[in-house]
């Protein structure tokens, strides 16, 4: 019997040259690159979710009509 999967979805991501080295340079002791990337994605999703909940009208297209 194999071990239980912790992560069900995969994402192949192409990064600009040097990005892996930059990620590795900011890893905490004992942290792996995948954990750091997952954490960054979770933080960005939380930030964007809060922004959308706070002001949904800010993300709507602006009305370009002018009164003449």
* Per-domain boundaries in the chain: 19-58
Pairwise CA distance, residues 13 & 39, whole Å: 15
Q: Is the torsion defined by CA of 48, 51, 56, 61 positive or negative?
A: negative
pTM: 0.67
Residue-wise pLDDT for 1-49, tens only, equals 677 878 789 999 999 999 999 999 999 999 999 999 999 999 999 999 9
Choose among 25, 27, 29, 47: nearest CA to 37.
27
Choice between 57 and 4, residue whose per-residue pLDDT is larger: 4
pLDDT at 20 (0 to 100):
96
Residue 51 pLDDT class (50, 70, 90 cuts): very high
């Amino acid at each position: 019997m194999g071990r239980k999967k912790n992560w069900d979805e995969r994402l192949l991501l192409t990064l600009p040259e040097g990005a892996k080295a930059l990620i590795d340079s900011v890893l905490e002791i004992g942290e792996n690159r995948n954990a750091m990337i997952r954490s960054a994605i979770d933080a960005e999703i939380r930030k964007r979710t809060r922004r959308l909940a706070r002001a949904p009208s800010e993300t709507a297209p602006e009305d370009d009509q002018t009164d003449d």
